[in-house]
Amino acid sequence: MPALIFDCDGVLADTEQYGHLPAFNRTFADFGVPVQWSVEEYAEKVKIGGGKERMRSILTPSLAQTLGLQDDDAVNSAVLAWHQHKTGVYKALVESGIMPARPGIARIAREAHDAGWTLAVASTSAEPAVRAVLAHAVGDDLAAHFSVFAGDVVPAKKPAPDIYLFALKELGVEPADAIVVEDSANGLR
């Protein structure tokens, strides 16, 4: 049985500018982190695979000291707390309908499902965020037919192929029997 595997961000919905960026910035403000990314700055940050990894990229030694993060354990705890908060902010933005679903995604997914294809999303974004975007983009009924592979289920984030290889293995699908819909240079690599 063939499989249709979607990336999430930028493929299912326009999530980066209208969801992730404001969620990162609100989280930084909520935690008193003196960082606010512009659209241009965030365009560079999206080259870093993973939200926690993007957050970690701001932590220069000087900023870590200013925030009272004196060792690796403190940094890891702070980044984890920030990311959990950011995921909640992001999920609320998705549920508000602020991020437009990509045109045609629901139709393509419905047609593939009706033709007997296996449907999946493979993303290194946090699983609750991916599930929220998926339900927003295709509706709850169709979303229930998707397998979701997301978050930290693989050790290496894009551009490493790990998330897609993991999805293929879990789905029991050969690469020649799968089509992946991807929009980023990291994902294409």
Name the residues annotated as catalytic: 7, 9
Residues 6+ away with beta carbon under 8 Å from 168:
3, 174, 175, 178
* 120: β partners: 5, 147
Question: What tokens does 187 get?
Answer: 């994902």
